[in-house]
Amino acid sequence: MSGKFNNLLPGVPSIENPFFKQIFSDPSIDDETRRVATDLNRDGYAVIKFPDEDFDSIAAGIKASLHDQYDWDTWRNKWYDAKVGLRILDAWQTDENVRRIATNAKVIELLSKLFGRQAWPFQTLNFPVGTQQHVHSDSIHFSSVPERFMCGVWTALEDISEDAGPLMYYPGSHKWPVYTNEHIGYCATEPVSDTNRMDYETMWDALIEVHDAKPAIFTPKKGEAVIWLANLLHGGLEHVNKQKTRWSQVTHYYFEGCAYYRPFRSDPFYGAIYFSKMNDMITGAAVEHQYSGFDIPKSFIESSYNNCSAQRAIVPADFDPQQYLLANPDVFEAGEDPVLHYRLHGWREGRRLRPE
């Protein structure tokens, strides 16, 4: 074969593509990009040094700026024992240092080479302590069509030890199928019942057992970052030492030319697709949903989106968002708005409004 390789599967990310070897044998690809691509293809994650010479001052600025925005007393007195962490969603909108990490041009260039499409950041999460989050796949929260065009980049803002709730991954689990509502027998559009319940955690635990998968723990130094693929099973270990922090930032990236949606809220063949409404963090422009190079009709997007919200509950007068999150830590860990979650899902699922 001569000339540039013709990828016959452009709808599959390059790092997960059946033609991976041919794509990354291109002599124009540098050794470091090829190393990261190989790690991602094999393990589902790869460690890099965050490419910014001013990283120390950026990290210090984020810690100083965000520190007082966290509810430290509630975490120490209640959420710590409930194994719930602290987070700030989309601090990039108000904090220039958070935005600087999320929009780093070298990271975006690297991700674009790895996936074969232009990357763009759509969300940030900033943590001062460990999440202690159950192992999960991001593919049920943030997905695309074609699938797998999403990734996360987790960056350590300080040295992180094993007793401060480090990240945990299951290498190779990204190669497993993406399982969504139809696979576990759940219809998000219909009321929850004895036969219609969402239970991904039990399924993930069973998959780990049946695959005899072994975890890997990431205890990075400040300035190290890990890229992980959408379907990689990952979570947070117990934050054993309450006196320690675990400052970090997650940036989630999508890639151009896709449709973007939230699978756990969607039933595509039941007429309900929870399309994500987002702006490109770099340009500020609204992101268009596309399918095979064509814009998806806005009428279809609105109709499918509205079908996800057809059943809404009135929020009780005594509804307390913080108490709802404390009673339902999975909602907190997923970064969900508590009021919206209750209106769309919580009332149908019989969720508690406050801890018992």
Sorted by where each starts, the structural domains of the chain and their CATH numbers stand as: 14-255 (2.60.120.620), 311-356 (no CATH)
Residue 236 phi/psi, 5° resolution?
Answer: -120, 130
Q: Is the dihedral of CA 35, 160, 56, 99 positive or negative?
A: positive
For residues 135 and 336, the model is more confident at 135
* % of the chain at pLDDT higher than 70: 97
pLDDT at position 345, please? 75
CB atoms within 10 A of CB 332: 23
Asked whether the predicted pLDDT for residue 4 surpasses 80, the reply is no
- pTM equals 0.89
Q: Which of 346, 261, 254 is nearest to 305 (CA)?
A: 261
- pLDDT tens for residues 220-260? 999 999 999 999 999 999 999 988 999 999 999 999 999 99
* pLDDT, average across residues 3-25: 93
Work out the pLDDT band at 176, boundaries 50, 70, 90: very high
* pLDDT, average across residues 139-165: 96
Asked whether the predicted pLDDT for residue 54 surpasses 50, the reply is yes
* pLDDT, average across residues 268-283: 92
pLDDT at position 338, please? 85
Q: Which of 320, 204, 217 is nearest to 264 (CA)?
A: 204
pLDDT at position 1, please? 43
| DSSP one-letter code for 173 | G
- pLDDT tens for residues 290-344? 999 999 999 999 999 888 865 556 678 888 888 888 888 778 877 777 887 887 7
pLDDT at position 252, please? 97
pLDDT at position 150, please? 98
CB 344 within 8 A of CB 312: yes
Asked whether the predicted pLDDT for residue 82 surpasses 80, the reply is no
Radius of gyration of the CA atoms of the chain, in A: 20
Work out the pLDDT band at 74, boundaries 50, 70, 90: confident
pLDDT at position 197, please? 83
Tokens 């780990």 belong to which residue?
A: 208
